[in-house]
Amino acid sequence: MTDPAETALVHARVTGEWLRGDVVQALVVATELDREVYRVRGLDEDGHPAGRVEKALDALFSESAGEYVAVRGDHPACAAVGLYQALSTEHTWLVVTSHRVAVLRLRDLAKGTAAEDALAAAKEEKSFGGVLRGLGKIVSASAAEFARSVRRPPLSERPDDAVLECPFELPRPALARVEKWKQPLVPQFRGGPRWLQVHFTDGSWARVKTDEAGQTALTGSAE
């Protein structure tokens, strides 16, 4: 799922910048599912604040209806929502230490600035024509950024462009357990992705994608 050299870079940054005396028990590549559905009271299926209708429908969902659900919880501020939303970008890892559970990511300083600037400018536009021009700039900037990213060396070869960030962190006691999970009807193959279901003590859980090494590190078994 990721460049081993990039994981080595994360290990080095974790030791030098983030660990603060903790002992790493597991550091695994992790991302959101390919198609996520939230079942969280107060949020719609896309994880956005829900209106009255969506809240009423949420109350009807049974536990058995959640076999393809990515996030389940009783409140938008539950731990599973924080974990899952922190995994919504590239270059993310789930780390469990002696005192913390967290999501770490490497942010690429050379990526996305033009598109982000265009998006911010579009949000400031008041006229319809201005909005259209802003959207055009976003599309153009995104296309240019994609072309640059194809030519850009891997982040592991540009360590000066990498910044270690921690978008999610809780004390270790907030983590209840981590279980294997398999997408129904989706075969697993050697070297392919694996999935985990991460449970928290507030009753919420999130399903995340990892690899064989990640599944083994957090559950003790790859199968």
Question: Would you say residue 10 has pLDDT above 80?
Answer: yes
Question: Would you say residue 194 has pLDDT above 60?
Answer: yes
210 vs 117 pLDDT, higher one: 210
Reading phi first (left if > 0) and then psi (alpha if -120 to 50, else beta), residue 185 is in left
Confidence of residue 9 (pLDDT cuts 50, 70, 90): very high
Question: Would you say residue 44 has pLDDT above 80?
Answer: yes
Question: Would you say residue 65 has pLDDT above 50?
Answer: no
Q: Which residue has the tokens 């462009």?
A: 161
pLDDT for position 110: 87
Q: What is the mean pLDDT of residues 2-24?
A: 90
pLDDT for position 32: 94
pLDDT for position 191: 84
Domain limits of the chain?
4-107+162-219, 113-151
Longest dimension (CA), the chain: 57
- Phi, psi of 5, rounded to the nearest 5 degrees: -65, -30
pLDDT for position 128: 54
What dihedral angle (degrees, nearest 10) is formed by the CA atoms of 140, 143, 144, 149? 160
Give SS3 for 63. Answer: helix
Which amino acid is present at 142?
S
pLDDT for position 154: 85
Q: What is the pTM of this model?
A: 0.76
* Residue 195 DSSP label: E
Cα–Cα–Cα angle for 54, 56, 60, nearest 5°?
A: 110
